[in-house]
Copies of this chain bind each other. A is one copy, B any other.
Amino acid sequence: MQPIRFDPTCYRIGKRPVYLNSGEFHYFRVPKKDWRRRMKLFRQAGGNCLATYIPWLIHEPEEGCFVFGGEDGVRDLDGFLRTACEEGLYVLARPGPYQYSELAYDGLPGWLCRNYPELRARNWEGKPFRTSSISYLHPLFLEKARAWFRRVAPRIARRTLSRGGPVAFAQLDNEMAGIHEWFGSLDYHPETMGFGRPEGRYTCFLRERYRGDLDALNRAYGTRWTAFEEAGPLKPGGEATPEAIRRRKDYLDFYLGTIAEYARTLAEWLREAGVDVPFVHNSANPNMNALFVETCAALKPDLLLGSDHYYSLGQDWPQMNPTPKYAIQAFSSLEMLRLLGFPPTVHEMPSGSASDWPPILPGDARACYWLNLAYGMKGHNYYIYTGGPNVPGTGMGDEIYDYGAPVGANNEVRPLYHVQKEFGRFLAARPWLALSTREHDFRFALDFEYARAGRYWSGRGEFTFSSAEAHDFLQKGILTTAHCAGLSPAACDPGSDEFLADRATPLVVVSSASMSQARQERLVRFLQRGGKLLLAPVIPELDEQLQPCTVLAEFLGRPTARPARLDYLRALVDGVQLNANGDPFACTRVPEGAEVLGRDEVTGKTLAWRLRTAGGGQVIFLGLRWTHGKRVHSELLTRLLTRLGLKQKLTCSNPNVWTVLRAAGKKRMLFVLNLHSSPQEATVAVRAGARMGRARKFRLPPMTVRCVEV
């Protein structure tokens, strides 16, 4: 098979751009006699890759007793890989250690969980999580996992592409950090983390972070420790004092460093065994990508991070079908993956569910697939494509792991299969889509630190605006408003210089009280080079460690913005009347030379101003935070961005209908989305050069995505 590679834009076979169309296919569940026919069916549906877990608990049923092969196929990994290869399908091998997959003990061997309770991850008070939540770096767990990898890795290595096999990717673990977060918190296992020990992991981390300066640590934390090893983690949750936030942030950074160390360890074991393919990992959901910054850094360029994008797996999920809120999350996730340098991949794409109800309906799944495509997905893996009986004693759910999959446990072909076939044909007929980017008319800073902040900065405390609030405002405010307004946003990374090059396209930066000095300096450089910036709802005055840092504020003439305690907001901002539709942040000091754009009508407090900076830059400060809910939000955002040079890529008459324009070369495709349960109509016009093209009317049934080449 030809090598399949990836670059930041897309996957490629040879030099040909392709879309990765993968489906989850468990050799240990699908009867061997059905492998080939179901693989053929998948290829007919446009599939080019299969993913499979390789469950430790099935291959090491008793400690030290490894079982591979066998007639019945449930342990015949090699037979499966050979068959896939014969059928021309790439394979993404997922050897764990974790699998989840509704397997007992989440795919770990029962003997491991039962016989070694000391491995269990612990909460801050030392209480263990549930049986199968393990502390990843516990030496004994690594020893057992290593033994497993010693057996499984060579079997994968033997069948990689370079050796004529189908294995194109190998996954490191599964949805890391989830097994802790969902069943407890971060992991505080004292032995793994080495609390209280001079050479313990946590002690070393702190020593390095504070460059061996214990006084600096004590100043940051408000403590009086006499040695680094005295520094223990702080109880999660609780008050938002600077000291507490620093300690919790440090612990999160440390913990995510242990995740990276774990991933690197697994990667080394695989490489040692000769597994010479790229590694992948899947964030458990669109909001977890930012947790893997350390992991990506540790493994680059060997790692491809993707994300799982389920919309419902049971009654307790907020939505039952793709919704605009789901779209915003998927969009943010895909943009984050793109910024990290990966072709955005949805490693687990809804395709059935372990719950029979609420159902995954073919029409909803269809909308979900095209929605993800619209927002930039360049590859996916259906979870699951097909199922079958669990190996006795290994299933956590039903005897038959059918999952309502497109191809059922008895080879039945369900309506969902035809949706996937339609999707496959759509992609195959448009190879240029793999190269496409979103045509955007403004940019927004997608700050990885803010995306993590909800885990260490829960309340606002005495700060003007917390980083967790900033991330929330970006998604529920700016991005939702933009989509309702028919704007076309694209993300950029405030932690990289890349965005500096484009001075024409306005940039929206949602800021909290805290922004690193490097980022503040970068924004100053952006303005000095003539960039156009919309900054809201506060101006940072602290760095990422909550130490004073006013680089940006100094450059802007030392304005200050504080939460305004108004009974009810009533403000005219740039001609848009706002009434109690947001939280105001009033400027107690407006920069010299700034033009005031908006005031609260009752108190006269300034809520928005515009300033031309040295170097031809322009900045608009907007002291407002909102959850999108009003037409005036769309008006306001559009008006302010227009002042900064916005040229809308398209117009859409209906705020309930969202639009995405993707282009590559001379090809352009317009995606028109109705993610509501009632029909919608909309008139859409797309910019062609200097002016808008002919308006086109769309009639959209509930939950549909229309695509037209324009």
Q: A104-B568, A568-B396, A678-B363 are in contact. Are A630 and B319 (CB under 8 A)?
A: no
Stretch from A139-147, A354-362, A542-550 contacting the other chain: A354-362
A125 to chain B, nearest CB (A): 14
Q: Do B480 and A315 have beta carbons less than 8 Å apart? A: yes
Shortest A208–chain B CB gap in Å is 39
Tell me the residues in window 604-657 of chain A with beta carbons closer than 8 Å to chain B beta carbons.
Answer: 627-632, 655-656
- Whether the pair A364, B629 counts as a contact (CB closer than 8 A) is no
Q: Are B315 and A325 within 8 A (Cβ)?
A: yes
Name A359's closest neighbour in chain B (CB-CB). B656
- Please classify the interface of chain A as helix (H, G, I), strand (E, B), loop, or mixed, using the class held by over half of its residues: loop
A363→B320 contact, CB < 8 A: no
In the complex, A316 has a CB within 8 A of chain B: yes
**Cα separation A110 to B602 with both chains bound (whole Å):** 14
User: A318 an interface residue at 8 Å Cβ cutoff?
Assistant: yes
Contact with B along A570-603 (1 / 0, CB 8 A): 0000000101110000000000000000000000
A630–B131 Cα gap in the complex (Å)? 25
Q: How far is the CB of A671 from chain B (nearest CB, A)?
A: 18
Please state the number of chain copies in the assembly.
Answer: 2
Tell me whether A321 is interfacial, beta carbon within 8 Å: yes
A630 to chain B: which residues have CB within 8 Å?
355-357, 398
Q: Does A676 contact B (CB under 8 A)?
A: yes
A655, B356: Cα distance in complex, Å: 9
A64 to chain B, nearest CB (A): 22
Contacts of A484 in B (CB 8 A): 357
What residues of chain B lie closer than 8 Å to A628, measured between beta carbons?
Answer: 315, 357
Q: Is B320 within 8 A of A323, CB to CB? A: yes
* Distance in angstroms between the alpha carbons of A172 and B320 in the assembled complex: 37
| A71 located at the interface, meaning its Cβ lies under 8 Å from any Cβ of chain B in the complex | no
Q: In the complex, are the beta carbons of B357 and A396 less than 8 A apart?
A: no
Structural contact, B655 and A357, CB atoms closer than 8 A = yes
The answer to whether A314 and B355 touch across the interface, beta carbons within 8 angstroms, is: no
Complex CA gap A702/B314 in Å reads 20
Tell me whether A399 is interfacial, beta carbon within 8 Å: yes
- Please indicate the chain B residues that have their CB under 8 angstroms from the CB of A358 in the complex: 324, 656
Complex alpha-carbon distance, A395 and B581, angstroms? 12
Contact with A396, one of B320, B325, B356, B579 (Cβ below 8 angstroms):
B579
| A212 CB-CB contact with B under 8 Å | no
Cross-chain contact B357 with A395 (CB below 8 angstroms): no
Answer whether residue A2 sits at the interface, using C-beta atoms and an 8 A cutoff: no
Q: In the docked arrangement, what's the CA distance between A326 and B318, Å? A: 12
Asked if A676 and B314 sit within 8 Å, CB to CB, the answer is: no
List residues of chain B with CB within 8 A of the CB of A629. 314-315, 355-357
Interchain CB contact under 8 A, A361 and B396: no
Interface, chain A (partner B; CB < 8 A): 104-105, 110, 131, 314-316, 318-321, 323-325, 355-359, 361-364, 395-399, 476, 480, 484, 567-568, 577, 579-581, 627-632, 655-656, 676-680, 701-703
A sample of 27 cross-chain residue pairs with beta-carbon separation below 8 angstroms, ordered by A number, consists of A104-B567, A104-B568, A131-B567, A314-B627, A315-B628, A315-B629, A321-B677, A324-B358, A355-B629, A356-B631, A357-B628, A357-B630, A358-B656, A359-B655, A359-B656, A361-B678, A363-B702, A396-B568, A398-B577, A399-B577, A399-B579, A676-B677, A677-B677, A677-B703, A678-B703, A701-B702, A702-B703
